Structure 1
Amino acid sequence: MNYNQIGILLGICMLLFLGVTFKKVHNPYLLGIWKSGLLVFTLYAALLIYIEIHWQFISDYADKYDLNGNGFVDLNEYSEEAIKAMNKKTYGTNVRIYAPLTMAALSSIIGFAYLISDWTVTRLKIQEYKKSV
């Protein structure tokens, strides 16, 4: 099991946990945390699933040029397209290793921005309600 698959499982488990406990929260500020958590883990799992599917397509494309199935492009299999495909697969390995950390940071930044905006809107609604009463 690679890091992407572990991240996908983590994201799905957290989505299930947050989805089940969502209706038990009544405080509007805690509800904002729950909604931003749902957003963060949905983005995290969706982006990692996309990366995993994209990696599978790259790997299958590169394996198409490996005629004898040894994992390398030998001299009898050498062509410009084969080298490009293997370079893309090799470069993609490094990207794939750092994907869970990068997607966690990206999802957290987006979720934090949503949380701040949700708390601001909630505070303004509460202030408006207090003025009208």
Structure 2
Amino acid sequence: MSAQSALETALRHLGASENTAVAVAARVAAEFRAEVFLKGKGTGTTGNEPTPDFFQPGRTYTDNNGYRAPELTTHFHVEHVTRHPEGGQLRAIGWSRSLAPGSRWHGDFRDGDEFAGWTELSAPLLPGVAL
């Protein structure tokens, strides 16, 4: 189902029930994001697809190369990926912290040209939490 046809379906359901309209709108948003942001890039989740060339939501990355002190290493957990409304460049929004003892997570973001040098961890450090 294309994003356009899903949107038309959502609009038809607006009169049916609020819960149905919300569910359809959420599906439309997910499909739209997949079409616009990730089209042709693969997700890298099955092992048969190419590795994405930008941060992916729900994943944690490190800038550690294995030879740095913990306070110089950063972990970045991605919550959301979006595009600038005018320029179109990608931006990953999430949480970062250093590996120094006692460090805490803080809000952070990375732009499209900052992906080089980051490596995805085998498991995310923060669980996905529904709002």
The TM-score by the shorter chain falls in which range?
under 0.3
Greater strand fraction, Structure 1 or Structure 2: 2
Greater helix fraction, Structure 1 or Structure 2: 1
